[in-house]
Amino acid sequence: MDSNTLTQTVIWTIISFVSGSLMLAYWLGRALTKTDARSIGDGNPGAANVMKAGGAKIGLIAMLLDAFKGAIPVSIAKYVIGLSGVPLIIVALAPIFGHAYSPFLRGRGGKAVAVSFGVWTALTLWEAPTFGGILLGVWFSVVARSGWAVLLTLLCLMSYYLITRPDPVLLTVLAVNAALLVWKYRADFQHAPGFRPWILERLRG
């Protein structure tokens, strides 16, 4: 790695981490609903609980904000600065960890699902977000625990890229991203995934 690449990697890692650490969904929820998202549902300060507090419109804006803060810096680093390989891996993971361990919330950030979608939009444009979104919707409709739905989605994406495009950058980012999400959802993995009621009814029928 030459000195210019190293400098750009450090600069864009810092920018990406700070961007990810901005708890935009959480702050939006507090401003518009006067409610702390951490007091709702699973206590996560991310877009899902903002949606529970403020409804679909506010929740959608919150999700987009969390996605953009991952997509924008990684897109600039990849397409404008031209980072690739290990530097791109580091920069791509920075906003995810920034959100998950935001210094603005004393290291107690969110689960980083929306910001991960933003990062994957920057890395693969429509591909991973589209497939990931469809898979996540399917698994959420089948299994009862969110953590299991996220894990199954990530395993499917990993299988897809291993078969179709075993790019070391994508696979490394995906592996670390998956490990972080599994850690964030660790409470769910103390229980079986379970099935949604409609699945149970079909099985009984």
Using the predicted structure, report yes or no on whether residue 52 has a pLDDT greater than 90: no
Q: What percent of the chain has pLDDT over 90?
A: 80
Burial class of residue 113 in the structure, from the number of CB atoms within 10 Å of its CB (0-12 exposed, 13-18 middle, 19+ buried): buried
**pLDDT reported for residue 187:** 93
One DSSP character per residue, 107-124 reads T-----HHHHHHHHHHHH
Using the predicted structure, report yes or no on whether residue 71 has a pLDDT greater than 90: yes
Q: What span, in angstroms and rounded, lies between the C-alpha atoms of 49 and 26?
A: 9
Using the predicted structure, report yes or no on whether residue 178 has a pLDDT greater than 70: yes
Work out the pLDDT band at 5, boundaries 50, 70, 90. Answer: very high
> Per the structure block, which two tokens stand in for 51?
């949606």
Angle between helices 56-75 and 24-33 (to 10 degrees): 150
In sequence order, which residues have a C-beta less than 8 Å from that of residue 51 and are 6 or more positions away? 58, 59, 60, 62, 63
Work out the pLDDT band at 205, boundaries 50, 70, 90. Answer: low
Give, in order, the Cα–Cα distances in Å from 17 to each of 41, 65, 93, 121.
26, 15, 8, 17
- Which residues, listed in sequence order, are joined to residue 119 by a DSSP beta bridge? none
> Per the structure block, which two tokens stand in for 146?
């969110």
**pLDDT reported for residue 39:** 86
The lowest-confidence range among 41-55, 71-85, 171-185 is: 41-55
Q: What is the DSSP letter of 190?
A: G
